[in-house]
Structure 1
Amino acid sequence: MALVSADALAGYLLEEAIAFLLSSNGYRLLQDSDADEQALRQAGHGLLVRGRGADHQADVLGDLLMPTPFSLPVRLFVEAKNRKSKVGLTEVRNAHGVIDDVNQHYSTELSRSYRHPLRRYQYRYALFSAAGFKKEAQSYALAQQISLVDLSGPAFSPLITSVERAARLILAEAVSADLTTFPVRQVRLALRSAFSSAGAEVPAAEAPYQGTDGGLPGNILASWAARMTAELQDSATGEGLILGFPAAPFILAMHPDSMEDFEAFIATHGPNIDVDIRFGREGVSGDWTITPVADPDAFRLSFGLPGALEAWLLSVPGQDRRRAAESRQLLLPTISLFLEDRLIRLRYEP
């Protein structure tokens, strides 16, 4: 791989940061094929997921440990784009093609080739974007049940700032070292090693990948990875991400203002919480917020939505207000989330 742009590198770093931030709520990163040799295959450039027609690269793939009755366990692809332009239809079509193929991997003939029956997963795809998504991409994603996570709102600006700064620094090191190819895998493994040391649910990293030109100095990578990990832990973004599963074909990536406040409310009021869902908050635009009905100041969860969804959920003056409330109640009556070993349900009624 040739030396990458700062935006492309920031996208790779963003994928790893998201996996790290999701590790506190039931997301277990899969790093090698030993985790599931029937469905995964190791290649020189990383992990591959077996599909019906081809094997597909999975830079960030994880098991979601939240049990869902009468449903297959969920395995999630994470892809992130950090660029100035909105993500378009091409990327979403690619995501759908991957998911469609890997979800058809299982067959009776294939399962007979193993001593034990093949364990099946429901693969899902979450595409994160720092700049949002084009309208046609949103429409296609909703139809094909690809989850689009908009990180362009203010709640996620510390995360974006952190990965962009890190991308510039590490790219400058690569230029200074006169590298002819950029060692993306070496950088990913350095981050995962730092995340594992920070207590994330990340498998111990294998020996750092060395490119044909030797890659980057290990001490520089370790120092940079530790710095980025500390930024994610100490900043507001370090409160983590919480994956929410509504009764709809998308996933919510929610950012708590304070994880401590959220957990304290759960400890006092139990796992079933009546909440209010609103667009924006005083002084801030572009965010949706969730607050408890019993005490609106007790905690706040923020999330972003693509505009196609927002157009239906946003309360507006006049005759559309009832339609917006009804749509919001239809799509978000209950949001389920997995916090450590607890199943939490956020119940919305307008």
Structure 2
Amino acid sequence: MANIAQIRGALLEEAVLFLLKNIDYEPYDQTLLSPNQLQYMRAGHSGLEIRGRGTWHQLDAFALWKHSPAFMYPLHIIVEAKCYAPNSPVCVDVPRNIVGVLKDISENYFSYEQKENHFHGPRYNYAAAIFSTSGFTKGAVEYAVAHQVFLIQYENVPVIQPLIDAIRRFDKYCISYSTKETISSARSYFRRCLAGFEVNETQPTELTEHGKELLSGSVTESCRAIKGSYFGMLQGQWPLHLLRREPLPPDAFSTDVVYCQIKGNNSEGWKFTPINSKRGDQDWFELEFSLPKFIAELVDSKWDNPIAVANLKQQHFSFIDLSGVIGGIRRSVRLQLDRNWIDEYISKQYIRN
């Protein structure tokens, strides 16, 4: 039976998939699988299922990166999202579960035929990311980092807060009855709303009129209101979801490197802004983000890592490699950051806690 927390998580997953599409990830829809995908995917009773080495796994939030770099298999990403109550961080059991799934599907090899010979080999690289509205426990961070599961935190990110608030308003009065299909029905209905498809007012029967009105109204509207969605890697290791209400201005990225500083606090949110421009300039912008305290400490402790220094070419600066659509063109750019920002971030995290 589905509970409200599970449905909220599923709705957040759909919102994340919608924002991932802005950088050309393509979510899979169990109702639209092609014949060649049926070897390793199928439509299960409660959603999309992916074949692992040992068994099938239900992975409703699963997407393909449509642009493969040279010397890499195409990338598949598993998305797990948790929309818990405030001050209820994600615990270690969530990354522990996703690590088992990731390992099993990563070890599933497929047959290739060449004349009369058959051999086995991988077709994809796999990654997993957990998105949380209320942070992560220290144990969850330590386990996820050790097993290369990426963590994205939305705590105290103002631009996405209306979406989180709308999802949290999804309660017991939004469902008519609870079955195994309730989660997938709510997910499918919300996905169609986000895509702009016309929805049948009589379906799904598991949702009340109030529930359908909430999903097609404030939840969809607050998600679509996020016009600027960019994913970045801090120092090539730590993921960030960088957000703003409007797309980034093309004038800010006449070159592929932009020098930035950090502004903000834990009550108003954290933002990266360009050093060489001010509010009102055509090349000025803010990018909102949140970084778990424990990951911030790990970043700080590994600042002088020789590999990171070699990549930086400067010992006193760090960077975020950012991907997204800027000026209608898919870009990969670098935000160059003063080292002092991580010290300020950590110190204010301790003041808060």
Q: When the two structures are superposed, what TM-score results if normalisation uses the length of structure 2?
A: 0.76
Q: What is residue 251 of structure 1 aligned with on the other side? A: 239
Q: Which residue of 1 aligns with 2:16?
A: 18
Q: Does 1:229 align with 2:228?
A: no
Per the alignment, residue 154 of structure 1 pairs with 157
Cα 1:65–1:206 shift into 2, 3 Å: farther
Taking only aligned residues, the RMSD between alpha carbons, in angstroms, comes to 3.6
Higher RCO, 1 vs 2 (CA within 8 Å, ≥6 residues apart) = 1
**Alpha-carbon spacing, 1:146–1:336, altered in 2? closer, same or farther (3 Å):** same
Matches within 5 A, 1:1-350: 1-2=1-2, 4-5=3-4, 7-32=5-30, 33-34=33-34, 36-84=37-85, 85-107=88-110, 110-112=111-113, 120-155=123-158, 156-165=160-169, 167-168=170-171, 171-174=172-175, 177=176, 179-181=177-179, 183-197=182-196, 214-216=205-207, 222-227=212-217, 228-234=219-225, 238-259=226-247, 262-266=248-252, 269-270=253-254, 272-278=256-262, 280-281=263-264, 284-285=266-267, 287-295=269-277, 297=279, 298-313=284-299, 332-339=318-325, 341-350=329-338
Q: Secondary structure at the match of 2:112?
A: helix
Deviations 1:96-127 (A, max 9, x none): 111111111125xx334999997722111110
Summarize the Cα distance change of 1:181–1:45 in structure 2 as closer, same or farther, 3 Å threshold. Answer: closer
Q: 1:128 to 1:51 in 2, by over 3 A?
A: same
Would you say the 8 A contact 1:149–1:305 is kept in 2?
Answer: yes
Q: Deviations over 1:176-232 (max 9, x none)?
A: x4x25361111111111111117xxxxx9999986xxx5336x66654332021232
Check conservation: 1:192, 1:205, Cα contact below 8 A: no
For residues 276 and 216 of structure 1, the distance between their equivalents in structure 2, rounded to whole angstroms, comes to 46
Q: Which runs of 5+ in 2 are unaligned?
A: 339-353
String of CA shifts for 1:248-305, please: whole Å, max 9, x gaps.
344221112531xx13335xx4350323243x51x65484432223325401112211
CA–CA distance in structure 1, aligned partners of residues 37 and 202 of structure 2: 22
Identify if the C-alpha distance between structure 1 residues 334 and 181 changes in structure 2 by more than 3 Å, giving closer, same or farther: closer
Aligned pairs, number: 315
Q: Distance in 2 between matches of 1:19 and 1:89?
A: 23
Residue 127 of structure 2: SS of its match in structure 1? strand
Going from structure 1 to structure 2, the CA distance change for 1:190 and 1:157 (only over 3 Å counts) comes to same
Contact kept in structure 1, 2:22 and 2:324, CA below 8 Å:
no
Between Structure 1 and Structure 2, the one with more helix by share is: 1
Q: Give the distance between the partners of 2:118 and 2:254, measured in 1 at CA.
A: 43
Does the 8 A contact of 2:95 with 2:144 survive in 1? yes
SS of the aligned residue for 1:111 comes to strand
> Distance between the aligned counterparts of 2:15 and 2:289, measured in 1?
17
Q: State the Cα deviation string for residues 310-336 of structure 1 (Å, max 9, x = none).
A: 12446xxxxx9x969x88968953413
- Judging changes above 3 Å, is the alpha-carbon distance between structure 1 residues 106 and 226 closer, same or farther for their aligned structure 2 residues? same
Percent of aligned positions that are identical: 23
- Distance (whole Å) between structure 2 residues aligned to residue 20 and residue 154 of structure 1: 18
The verdict on how the C-alpha distance between 1:52 and 1:161 changes in structure 2, with shifts beyond 3 A counting, is same
Equivalent position amino acid for 1:99 in 2: L
Alpha carbons of 1:63 and 1:285: their partners in 2 closer, same or farther (altered >3 Å)?
A: same
For the residue of structure 2 that corresponds to 1:133, the secondary structure is: coil
What amino acid does structure 1 have at the position aligned with 2:277? Answer: D
